[in-house]
Chain A
Amino acid sequence: MTDLALLSVRGARKRFGPVLALDGVDIDIERGEIHALMGENGAGKSTLIRCVSGVHSPDAGSVSVAGVPARPRTPREAELFGISCVHQEVHLIPHLSVAENICLGREPTRRFPFPGIRWGAVRERARQAVERVGFEIDVRRELCTCSIAAQQLVAIARSLDCGARVVILDEPTSSLNEREVEALFSVLRRLRANGLGILLVTHFLDQVYRIADRITVLRDGRLVGTRSAADLSRAELVAMMVGRAIHREPRAEQHASRAEQPRFAARGLRRRGALDAVDCSVDRGEAVGLAGLLGSGRSETLRAIFGADPIDAGTMTLDGHPVRPGSPREAMRVGIAFLPEDRKRDGIIPSLSVRENIILALQARRGVFARVSNREALLLADRFIAALRIRTPSPETPVHRLSGGNQQKTLIARALATDPLLLLLDEPTRGIDIGAKEDVLDLVRSERERGVAIIMASSELEELVRACGRVVVLRDRRSVAELMGSAVDPTAIVRAIAEAAPEPDVEIATRG
């Protein structure tokens, strides 16, 4: 009809306080196209989706549907423009029926004899929508009795019933198994054949190459580029996402000799929806890095080792003894310490002082009622404030008054105060300034030299390379490669992350 793109975004810009979450992003989605939107954490994918689907309004830029300017202010308005969004955690009403969920807010009604909903028509419309999506379900079933995969298909059916021309899917496959992913993809291919535009947000490389026609990569709120999937190699894609100017850095010297028995070893860690098969071990005085894209299982591995999330299968040993911490308290008792990724949410107690924050974990390890004397606490606090170069007016300053880097150091001090055998660091340098980053990396080195075993997850490949003598690469929730010695460099890691997994179809065949 026309050569105008179905959905066209130009110069989208959105600022949240000091953070520029989107900075002049352009994206076009054509009719009959599956377009993948990719990027690491904080790249601006979610913000872009929210701006297009009416959850946020962009500060600048334009959105148009088939050439008609659209500026949706609510999700409902976006639906009226033909833009519909299906989220990973399905936003439907659990205790209504499938049919009601498809028609909610747009139910066909009658006036006589009493004004009310025409349930027959509701079910019929729902059935038609479900059929257009191409799956089978009893539309009278209560939604919460359906699997997540089915709920997502119901959400897509709802989009079609709303007259959507552009369907945005936000991480639709994160909680699906392989068979369900294949079912979803065949639905998407069907919609593509019907001329819909599909924007797919995902971090699974294999899936992107299975289904996407074009790929747009965002990084730090900016557009890195839009490329045809057929012409873009995995390594190039990963490089676009992590933004690598690949060059050599001084690296941590390799751990001299593998000890007979590692300090800590995990085998086959598995947790439904988070980890599939992760192996990882670390010796005394060694730092092991976990590399992988967002969602590959980096944080999940650390959380599982620390007992923050229970595992379904797998074994762990600490100094040869089997351990299976059921809670962070148990993990701390056997000598494992953890620095969480999101320090604001999981770590710092903002109104307590630096000293109190530091001794918190020690207190937890000894028991709530055991007394940690004031003298001991002060000595400890002073020691760590000096050792970690925490810049604070006094140990009694509330920790929320410190800069991000110093808050992070306080948290690390807290972990170290328990004198751990194994230290788990999740993104230890995220969101802190350059100087503090150097201090944190120095600290990793000195703790390693003291004989502490360290496992560190980071999306900053250069840091991993500098701090760790060995790097375990995770992809799609599994450990897929291990790099040692001179093989540890950013290029090799990117290559390992980008390696193609075995074809899923083959897997299904061998299983069936």
Chain B
Amino acid sequence: MIRERQSPPERRSLPHRPRLVPRLDPSVVPSAATALVLVAAFLLGAARYENFASWMVLRNLLVDNAYLGIAAVGATFVILAGGIDLSVGAVMAMTSVLVARLVEHAGVHPAVAIAVAILAGMSFGLAQGSLIQLFGLPAFLVTLAGMFLARGAAFALHPQSLGVRHPFVAQLLNDSLSLHIPLGPRGVVIPITVVVAGAVIAITWWTLRQTPFGRAVHAIGDDEHAATLMGVPVGRVRVMTYAIAGGLSALAGVAFTLYQQAGDPTACKGLELDAIAAVVIGGTLLRGGVGGVIGTLMGVLILGLIQTIITFEGDLSSWWTRIVVGVLVLAFVALQRGVDAIASRRLTSAA
């Protein structure tokens, strides 16, 4: 015999209805938090130290962090696309030594040397990206190997620091090529490295937000499989992000060379980790897909401000910078996790 059972009436949630008050978009929360931390750090410094809130301090903040900023923009491309690049600092050192040697020992004009260095950096990144894409190798390991290779190459090029004394370099750095802003008692002079960093950030913002390539970078970081099925040229875009990161690392290396007026094979050890920290504090998800270059800019400025505050404090060891950065990175990772959890809970309750 068959016993039919009465099925109970269904209870379903109501379909989605538009809300009168828009909720705070969870994806905005991390960038808002970054901006908040940036302002808080500045206000803390300004309240604690007399001369903190001055144009001079701000200018130095920019000058001291221009090369980190450029490198972090490169890291933003790679991380947004769901990858990682550990070779940044080593590529910077390699290109800085390359520029110094070309100029000082080979007699090449610095402008040419800089172009060569940037091409070298891009090729390096292209090679790393191709290995990752074509052979499906883990990005972490490929770029770790790249880090050792580039660092070794820097030492092979020249084992010690090498000063760059070409007149063109002096000219690049002197006031004629810098931005003069009539602020404060003596005006503010912004050197070319900062101008270049600013331009890089602006172009990157445009590229990531306003071009199909930039949207594809977001797409493959967010869901690579879906992006493939939607016809995004995943491989090409991914390799491009590594090439861009390599080129920007080289540009950062050039900026560093100008900043130090020397090429140094020991320079920028661990800078890639600062760059990653800046990207993460800037609200970009390490798994990719969400974030942007404005956040990275704020992240770099936060790192710089912390350093400045520790310097102002005087008797604190500079290692305190690291401790604060560590705490911040942890806090932001926790924040992102929390935002993710809330977003997914909302989605399931809406579904």
User: Which listed residue, B27, B223, B227, touches A142 by the CB 8 Å rule?
Assistant: B27
Evaluate contact between B10 and A94: CB separation under 8 angstroms: no
Please give, as numbers and ranges, the residues of chain B lying within 8 Å of A114 by CB-CB distance. 206, 210
A510 surroundings in chain B (CB, below 8 A): 9
**A446 CB, nearest partner CB in chain B, Å:** 29
A93:B230 contact, CB within 8 angstroms: yes
Does B231 count as interface, using CB distance less than 8 angstroms? Answer: yes
| Contact between chains at B4 and A179 (CB < 8 Å) | no
Interface residue from B10, B211, B231 paired with A115 (Cβ < 8 Å)? B211
Q: In the complex, which residues of chain B have a beta carbon less than 8 angstroms from the beta carbon of A158?
A: 230
**Bound form: Cα–Cα A122–B347 in Å:** 25
Flag whether B3 is at the interface (Cβ < 8 A). yes
Instruction: Return chain B residues, CB-CB under 8 Å to A479.
Output: 5
B215→A96 contact, CB < 8 A: yes
Query: Contacts A483-B2, A507-B10: A116 and B346 contacting too (C-beta < 8 A)?
Result: no
Contacts of A149 in B (CB 8 A): 351
Residues of chain B contacted by A145 (CB below 8 angstroms): 25, 343, 346-347, 350
Cβ B230 vs Cβ A91 within 8 A = yes
User: Could you tell me if A144 and B347 are in contact, using CB atoms closer than 8 angstroms?
Assistant: yes
Is the Cβ of B3 less than 8 Å from the Cβ of A147?
no
Establish whether residues B7 and A105, one from each chain, have CB atoms under 8 Å apart when the complex forms.
Answer: no
Shortest C-beta distance, B62 to chain A (Å), equals: 25
The reply to whether A147 and B351 contact each other, CB–CB distance below 8 Å, is yes
CB of A483 to closest CB in B, whole Å? 6
Pick from B206, B215, B343 the residue with the most CB of A within 10 Å. Answer: B215
Identity of the chain A residue whose Cβ is nearest the Cβ of B350 in the assembled complex: A147
> What class of interface size applies to chain A in its complex with B?
35 or more
Chain A residues with CB under 8 Å of B216's CB are 104-105
Asked if B3 and A481 make an inter-chain contact with CB atoms under 8 angstroms apart, the answer reads yes
- The answer to whether B206 touches A91 (Cβ under 8 A) is no
The distance from the CB of B61 to the nearest CB of chain A, in whole angstroms, is 29
CB neighbours (8 Å) of A68 from chain B are none
A150→B222 CA distance, assembly (Å): 19
Beyond A117-B210, A144-B347, whether A92 also contacts B7 by CB under 8 A is no
The answer to whether B2 and A496 touch across the interface, beta carbons within 8 angstroms, is yes
Known contacts: A105-B216, A107-B215, A178-B10. The answer to whether A279 contacts B222 by CB under 8 A is: no
Are the C-beta atoms of A92 and B10 separated by less than 8 Å? no
A484 x B1 contact (CB < 8 A): yes
- A235 nearest CB across to chain B (Å): 14
Q: Is B13 an interface residue (CB 8 A)?
A: yes
**Interfacial chain A residues near B134, Cβ < 8 Å:** none
Q: For B9, what are the chain A residues with a Cβ–Cβ distance below 8 Å?
A: 507, 510-511
Q: Is A148 an interface residue (CB 8 A)?
A: yes
Q: Taking CB as reference atom, which chain B residue is nearest A158?
A: B230
Max chain B CB contacts within 10 Å: which of A96, A150, A485, A487?
A96
A-B residue pairs, 9 tightest by C-beta: A76-B231, A116-B210, A91-B226, A177-B12, A93-B219, A147-B351, A75-B229, A91-B229, A105-B231
11 pairs of residues in contact across A and B, judged by CB atoms under 8 Å: A85-B229, A93-B227, A95-B27, A95-B222, A104-B219, A145-B346, A147-B16, A268-B8, A276-B7, A492-B2, A496-B2
Q: A75-B229, A144-B347, A272-B348 are in contact. List 7 more A-B contacts (CB 8 A).
A: A93-B222, A101-B230, A104-B219, A117-B215, A147-B350, A481-B3, A510-B9
